[in-house]
């Protein structure tokens, strides 16, 4: 865990969602994690110290979510909050299945496969995007 080396005094008290890679670097003001999107963009999750006295600026929000290009240089969207539940909700805009457990993902996947219509029209099936989102999330978690 890179953040422990780069920020030895930092205490991670929230669970980082599956698929996020620790990209913490000591020259930044706080640890960060990222996860790639399919369109050459990445979502970066910054987490500041819980103790506001340890933050670069005590009035900064604790959590920041950035939508960036894949070079991690240009930010196209930002979201800031002190509530991690709001972070998870924001992340679900990018990764729709991120808040589901492994069992919930597997169960929903099975339900969708049972509902696929027979015949040639299956390629126009309305839940294909949802199935792809589930498969992507399972893949990020290392589950096939």
Model-level pTM? Answer: 0.85
Can you give the pLDDT of all 144 residues of the chain as single tens digits?
A: 899 999 999 999 999 999 999 999 999 999 999 999 988 899 999 999 999 999 999 999 999 999 998 888 878 889 999 999 999 999 999 999 999 999 999 999 999 888 877 765 566 677 888 888 999 999 988 887
21: enclosing H helix or E strand: strand 21-22
Sign of torsion, CA 38 40 41 44?
A: positive
CB atoms within 10 A of CB 102: 12
């Amino acid at each position: 865990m890179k953040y422990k080396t780069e920020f030895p005094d930092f205490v991670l008290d929230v669970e980082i969602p599956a698929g996020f890679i620790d990209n913490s670097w000591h020259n930044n003001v706080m640890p960060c994690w990222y996860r790639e999107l399919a369109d050459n963009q990445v979502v970066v999750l910054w987490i500041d110290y819980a103790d506001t006295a340890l933050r670069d600026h005590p009035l900064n929000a604790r959590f920041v979510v950035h939508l960036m290009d894949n070079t991690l240089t240009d930010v196209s969207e930002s979201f800031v909050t002190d509530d991690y539940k709001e972070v998870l909700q924001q992340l679900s805009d990018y990764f729709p299945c991120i808040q589901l457990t492994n069992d919930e993902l597997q169960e929903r996947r099975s339900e969708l496969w049972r509902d696929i219509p027979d015949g040639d029209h299956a390629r126009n099936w309305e839940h294909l995007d949802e199935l792809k989102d589930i498969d992507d999330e399972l893949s990020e978690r290392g589950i096939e």
